[in-house]
Structure 1
Amino acid sequence: MTQLYVEALIRADLETLWERTQEPSQHRRWDLRFTDIDHLPRLSEAEPQRFRYATRLAPFLNVAGTGVFAGERHRPDGTRTCALRFASPHPLSLLAEGSGYWRYVPTPDGIRFLTGYDYRPRWGRFGKMADRLVFRPLMGWATAWSFDRLRLWLEHGRSPARSLAAALAELALRVAVAVLSVVLAAAGPAATGRVPELAGAAPVLAAVLLAAAVLLPPLPGTPAARRTLRTPPASVRTPAVLATLEQA
């Protein structure tokens, strides 16, 4: 399987970015993939941090898992890294186990915040097919969308809840315009039959509305996966700290 990769350039303070991605109460606010994230108790600061995560699939149905991560906050080159392993024993979780990393790379234009991760699906051959056709593309999109949501929060002060509301409102508007275009295309000729000069206008207007609903880019205040980089540069390497983590 191809590793999932997402990168966003975020113009923010490194400490603030680190806090909003490493602190569970902040992380769960912007990451669409998780409903809840909590650190588990540990005996000392020297051992890796364990955590529990959950995703709500439906009311009263949460799919949960556990993981372990370790971060390198002070590296000689000024970058920071967080590596993690995770697993879910829940029978409804297609994701059985996996691993990944986050990197924070300061540049003159902002922080390159990037992630690479992969996982093993369950459910045998059916699970592999469902993962390739549906789940993996969805996970990649959700990660990218969440990164842009985080960027809007840090760069423009738009809370994650406000960004989600804007995205839902824009989606509803696009759907309404698309439905209107279909209705106009179907009813247009009959509605303009009494005015021959307008008979050809309805299909053209319907096509323009449909194209606008589908092709116009998201508004600046709406999170968009397309604003992130989804193809890893050739120079990206898996952090060495990942090899030191035990299985979740």
Structure 2
Amino acid sequence: MYVETVIDADMDVLWERTQNPARHQSWDLRFTSISYLPRTEGEPQRFRYATRLLPLLWIAGTGVSAGERQRPDGTRVSALRFASGHPLSLLAEGSGYWRYVPGPTGVRFLTGYDYRPRWGRCGALADRLVFRPLMGWATAWSFDRLRLWCERGIHPRAALGRALGECAARLALPLAALVASPAALVASPAAPLALAAGIAVLAVLLPPLPGTPAARRCRRTPSGRVGPPRLLTTLEPSCPRSSTRTWEPTSVVCTPRSGAASPSGSTTAKPVSGAERWSGSATGPSS
């Protein structure tokens, strides 16, 4: 899975708002809470995360992360592995990375991640049809929410309020068309219903307001070859059960069509010992 955006903000500001757990959870729809666990100097950062699906239903998991804040080419990178032992969690384990690439119009902020679903064939089908598209949308929407915070100073809570208000307005338009013509609806239901349907289509197709987050503003396929950083291979698996298999996001190659949790600071992770690494990358990890 791949998502990319360009954020016209200072690199240090972007790093702090993505690597600080309290800041991260404020803009990322995928997490309700993120908390770091105690660690000693030089070790990767372990953390707990939780997502609230219903008022009394939380899906929790654990992870390990590391980051490189100072790199010779001026870029920054962070990587993590995560897992959940919750029986209702479709996501069993996975891994991902963030890259920060400075450019003339801002910081190119991108992510790649992948995971292994549970529940066998039923889980794989649910993941392909529902969960994976939803995760991709939530990631892209969250990235644009972060961009608005860094570029325009719109706090994530305010951005969510704007998004909910705009959705309510779009839903109200076709209803208003029906309420405005009750006599016509009784005499000939087809015409008012067609009008309401047309308004509903326009409400969906119209672009969001500039200050409202939108997943459509993010790139969902890379413009070139992108692979997981080598830092990812140094992280031990974060599994709630005994396992020797770890998962890494695949490298993505964008070819022309015929006729797309977070560490703090810089740490050096210990190499994985005795673990079988799985990678769907044809080229292997990149720097």
Length-normalised TM-score, structure 1: 0.90
Per the alignment, do residues 200 and 243 of structure 1 end up closer, same or farther by CA in structure 2, a change over 3 Å counting?
A: closer
Partner of 1:163: 159
Counterpart among 204, 210, 226 of residue 216 in structure 2: 226
* Distance in 1 separating the partners of 2:133 and 2:67: 27
1:232: Cα distance to partner?
1.9
Counterpart among 118, 123, 140 of residue 136 in structure 2: 140
Counterpart among 7, 11, 16 of residue 14 in structure 1: 11
1:237: Cα distance to partner?
1.8
- Unpaired segments of 5 or more residues in structure 1? 194-198
1:43: Cα distance to partner?
1.8
* Distance in 1 separating the partners of 2:181 and 2:198: 11
Per-residue Cα deviation, 1:115-139 (whole angstroms, up to 9, x for no partner) = 0000000011110000000000000
The correspondence of residues 196-215 of structure 1 with structure 2, limited to 5 A, is: 202=192, 205-206=195-196, 208-215=198-205
Counterpart among 120, 123, 147 of residue 124 in structure 1: 120
* Distance in 1 separating the partners of 2:3 and 2:181: 39
**Aligned AA (2:45):** Q
* Distance in 1 separating the partners of 2:157 and 2:60: 23
Pairing 1:31–2:21 present: no
Partner of 1:196: none
Counterpart among 79, 86, 93 of residue 89 in structure 2: 93
1:61: Cα distance to partner?
1.4
Q: Secondary structure at the match of 2:138?
A: helix
Tell me which moved more, 179-188 or 105-114.
Answer: 179-188
**Two-structure CA RMSD over aligned residues (Å):** 2.0
Partner of 2:280: none
Structure with a larger share of its residues in helix: 1
Q: Secondary structure at the match of 1:211?
A: helix
Counterpart contact for 2:62–2:82, Cα < 8 Å: yes
Q: Secondary structure at the match of 1:213?
A: helix
1:180: Cα distance to partner?
3.4
Size of the aligned set, in residue pairs, is 238
Per-residue Cα deviation, 1:165-221 (whole angstroms, up to 9, x for no partner) = 000011111111133346668863546x8xxxxx99856743542232121111111
Per-residue Cα deviation, 1:131-155 (whole angstroms, up to 9, x for no partner) = 0000000000000000000000000
Pairing 1:108–2:104 present: yes
Counterpart contact for 1:181–1:207, Cα < 8 Å: no
Tell me which moved more, 57-66 or 147-156.
Answer: 57-66
* Distance in 1 separating the partners of 2:195 and 2:127: 39
Partner of 1:69: 65
* Distance in 2 separating the partners of 1:31 and 1:200: 43
Q: Secondary structure at the match of 2:39?
A: coil
* Distance in 2 separating the partners of 1:240 and 1:188: 66
**Aligned AA (1:206):** A
Length-normalised TM-score, structure 2: 0.78
* Distance in 2 separating the partners of 1:203 and 1:126: 38
* Distance in 2 separating the partners of 1:189 and 1:218: 30
- Unpaired segments of 5 or more residues in structure 2? 239-287
Pairing 1:217–2:207 present: yes
**Aligned AA (2:29):** L
* Distance in 1 separating the partners of 2:159 and 2:79: 28
Per-residue Cα deviation, 1:19-45 (whole angstroms, up to 9, x for no partner) = 00000010010000100001110022x
Per the alignment, do residues 186 and 92 of structure 1 end up closer, same or farther by CA in structure 2, a change over 3 Å counting?
A: farther
